[in-house]
Amino acid sequence: MQELWKLLTSPRHLIVFEAAARHLSFTRAAAELNVQQPAVSAAIKQMEESLGVILFHRSHRKVVLTKAGERLFADVSIGLDHILSSARGIWQRGQNDHVTLSVSTAFAYYWMVPQLEALHTAHPDVDLRLQTSDREPDIDAEGISLAIRRGNGSWPGVHAALIAPEVIYPIASPQVMAAAVNLKTVPNLLHERLIHLEEPVRERPTWGQWFSHFGITEREPKAGLRLNDYALVLQAAMAGEGVAFGWKHVTQGLIAKGLLAAREDWSWETGKGFYLVWSKTTPLIPQAERVRDWMIGTARDWQ
């Protein structure tokens, strides 16, 4: 950092340079930064003297980056974007006392929402905001307090606590399950109408992998209804459209209510799990810590 200080003379010059290079105008850079144009010219001149290179070709009406200027702008713009994202996230968390929880639609509907009353009873002062997403968000860049991820529990930049091991079994409406009189062995499930989950971004197991776990690889699973969101899969299963994957932690409440039936004896424990994650670099506000601890404790009670 001492060498960087000597080369640039002031961190402020980086911000001035980035604005001037982005606009290719000292005048527009000055207007954006709310300073006078001579101040921008002076800052760029000091950088050029410190670095020993010319960063801009100057003419009467415009300025153009030199090769050295282009190289510096490419790196400076990326670095300042990262700093801005981090500063914005920290500022937002400092300004707001709400807790953002990013989850899939199905997890929100069938795991979180049924337990909100218990959360509000335990922590009435917490302002929890559920955010559903079809991808795994960057919690630091997007200012998210907590999120649920599927995987092995190891991701760079985040802490992780197991909410539920991944256990999958076939589910269907009670009527469909009762009508499937030939479900005495796993291979017979190949003859049933299957509902397939095909999420566009997140990696999810397939029926082919489920059958392969039980040693059935010689036949492809039967084609059927294909949906891109697990909440829709569950709705279709409850409506009698066929047999679907049942993630235990999401479906056990629906099974207990009689809305779904399951073949829990055909469970596949994949070795992965669903984890609550939070940033290693941005401290949680106290309200988010309480939600985190409550979710981890509740998950232990469910398992």
Which of 42, 72, 95 is at the close of a domain? Answer: 95
In this predicted structure, the answer to whether residue 254 has a pLDDT above a threshold of 60 is yes
Same domain, 153 and 191: yes
* Burial (CB count within 10 angstroms: exposed 0-12, middle 13-18, buried 19+), residue 39: middle
Of the listed ranges 95-99, 120-124, 188-192, the least confidently predicted one is 95-99
**Cα gap 17→47, rounded to integer Å:** 9
**Cα gap 176→241, rounded to integer Å:** 8
pLDDT at 250: 94
Same domain, 259 and 242: yes
* Burial (CB count within 10 angstroms: exposed 0-12, middle 13-18, buried 19+), residue 164: buried
Instruction: Pull the structure tokens for residue 100.
Output: 């953002």
In this predicted structure, the answer to whether residue 222 has a pLDDT above a threshold of 80 is no
* Burial (CB count within 10 angstroms: exposed 0-12, middle 13-18, buried 19+), residue 210: buried
Asked whether 118 and 253 are in contact (CB, 8 A), the reply is: no
pLDDT at 152: 94
The pLDDT confidence band at residue 219, using thresholds 50, 70 and 90, is confident
Tell me the percentage of the chain whose pLDDT exceeds 70: 94
Same domain, 70 and 124: no
Of the listed ranges 19-23, 61-65, 168-172, the least confidently predicted one is 61-65
Residue 268, SS3? strand
Which of 68, 95, 122 is at the close of a domain? Answer: 95
pLDDT at 302: 64
pLDDT at 141: 83
Higher pLDDT among residues 271 and 3, named by residue: 271
Same domain, 71 and 127: no
Same domain, 35 and 120: no
In this predicted structure, the answer to whether residue 7 has a pLDDT above a threshold of 70 is no
| CA dihedral sign, ordered 247, 251, 256, 262 | negative
Q: How many domains does the chain have?
A: 2
Averaged confidence pLDDT in the chain: 89
In this predicted structure, the answer to whether residue 50 has a pLDDT above a threshold of 80 is yes
Same domain, 68 and 144: no
The domain containing residue 85 runs over which residues?
2-95
Helix axes 37-51, 11-23, angle to 10 degrees: 110
In this predicted structure, the answer to whether residue 133 has a pLDDT above a threshold of 90 is no
Per-residue model confidence as pLDDT tens digits over 71-112: 999 989 888 888 887 776 666 555 557 899 999 999 999 999
Same domain, 74 and 59: yes
Which of 95, 118, 136 is at the close of a domain? Answer: 95
Of the listed ranges 97-101, 116-120, 256-260, the least confidently predicted one is 97-101
* Predicted model pTM: 0.67
